[in-house]
Amino acid sequence: MGGLLHKAQALVESVEHGDPVEGKRSLERLAAGIRQSLVTAPAITDLCKECAEQLAQLGRCAQVLIPALQDAGLRGALERRSTVFLGLLQQVQIAQKQVESQSALMATELSQIDQAINVTLPALGVF
């Protein structure tokens, strides 16, 4: 997202030093892309939640089954799988938090871009 903000700042500077109408169009395209990302983010968050629930359930099932296994080889294999499930669960939870965090940043950046388009540029005579 830092790259996105940097790109937005570069576009604002291009408006100041170049063709302001083209700069405004570029900002509008950037804003449209961010809006599309914000529409997609909740679906990704939902998938992360669903995946996390399934991984947690698999981990719980494995933990219940491990003591019941008589074969040491199977018990060891299931313990390894259980560890993998828990590791994946942590990664999915981290990914979910990152999506939520990035969505908040994108919303802030979108607000700044909208302000540039709707307030700053018109104040500079760009319509």
Is the whole-model pTM more than 0.85? no
* 5-53 pLDDT per residue, tens: 676 666 666 655 667 788 788 889 999 999 999 999 999 999 999 999 9
The C-alpha angle 52, 71, 81, rounded to 5 degrees, equals: 20
Residue ranges making up the domain that contains 119? 2-123
The total number of structural domains that make up the chain: 1
* 78-92 pLDDT per residue, tens: 999 999 999 999 999
